[in-house]
Amino acid sequence: MIPALHALARHGRLVLVLGLVVGILAPSLARAMEPLIFPLIALMLFLATLRVDVVVAFPGARTLPRFLIATLILQVVLPLCAIAGLWVLGAMDSIIGIGAVLVLAAAPLTGSPGLTIMAGGDPAPALRQLVLGTALLPLTVLPVFWVLPVFGAPEVVAMAALRLLAVIAVAGGAGMLLRRAVPWLRAAEGQGAVDGTITLVMSVVVVGLMSAVGPAILAPSTELWLTLAAVFTLNFGAQIGALLLLRNGPEATAAPALAIVAGNRNLALFLGALPPETGAALLLFIGCYQLPMYLTPLIMAPLIRRLARHG
């Protein structure tokens, strides 16, 4: 069993692509797995804290203010600016608009440190941003949930935030406790096994997330092309913009990691907080957003290398 999990970890990118393909070509299976998406996302949070010593990864006193400012910009300022833009355009109720706001409000993707490694950057800043962004998510989402009309009354906003807090506390706390209680999990063999389990869970989650994408790709429509254009623009626009802004500043060494974090967010975690009808309507957007995520190392690595040479 353990060697099989290690093999999954070694071939993680291939396994994830296989999950994408299965989700597209087997829409009935993908639809059957939709109810499992949110529980599996919570399981991924548990596995992430099982894999990483959160206490060690948390920013120290000297670097905490910088990471805190980055979290507030990424998870509060950007989504509120997006909401303002949608209000000006009269598109507050559009699914693409709601999806874009939720992307910007979400914490960094659990796999963002791995994406950073594959793109040629230092994963440590991505890991710290992941830990801080996830820990503060129940607070940072409050102004976004309050302003975004999809959540309705204030008590609904509060309940949505509390659900997120409960999931993060239970999944993250359980992972931290188990990691400290079982020394094997901190050894190389145990870490490899957890990596393989994360790969397996991610590939299964992707199948469910592609439930709306498969039929759309097999029968392409204007909605599909608009959604694909939106997710690629949002994902790579955020990454390239952050990279260009940070490359010559005091955070130059952290620029690749922070750029990847800016574009790759744990959007699916919100499925448990959204009204069911909105969550169902967002599945096409969420599924399409997986495509630029998995293309991030391929697209960003040459740009990161080029900027590093010029730097």
- Could you tell me the pTM of the whole model? 0.79
DSSP assignment of 97-145: HHHHHHHHHSPBPTTHHHHHHHHTS-HHHHHHHHHHHHHHHHHHHHHHH
Three-state SS for 212?
coil
Residue whose entry in the numeric block shows the structure tokens 């079982």: 182
Tens digit of pLDDT for each residue in 143-159? Answer: 888 887 776 555 665 66
Amino acid at site 46 = F
Domains of the chain by residue range: 2-23+33-207+220-306
Beta-bridged to residue 265, according to DSSP, are: 108
**Which ranges of the chain have pLDDT less than 70?**
12-13, 54-59, 151-161, 164, 250-251, 272-273, 308-311
Query: How far is residue 270's CA from residue 260's CA, in Å, rounded to a whole number?
Result: 20
State residue 30 phi and psi, 5-degree precision: -60, -40
Tens digit of pLDDT for each residue in 261-285? Answer: 999 998 877 776 677 777 778 888 9
CATH topology (fold) of 2-23+33-207+220-306:
Na+/H+ antiporter like fold (1.20.1530)
Tens digit of pLDDT for each residue in 151-185? Answer: 655 566 566 667 767 887 888 788 888 988 888 88
Three-state SS for 63?
coil
Tens digit of pLDDT for each residue in 81-90? Answer: 999 999 999 8
The conformational region for residue 207 under phi > 0 = left, psi -120 to 50 = alpha, else beta, is alpha
Query: How far is residue 226's CA from residue 232's CA, in Å, rounded to a whole number?
Result: 10
Instruction: Name the strand (E) or helix (H) holding 288.
Output: helix 283-310
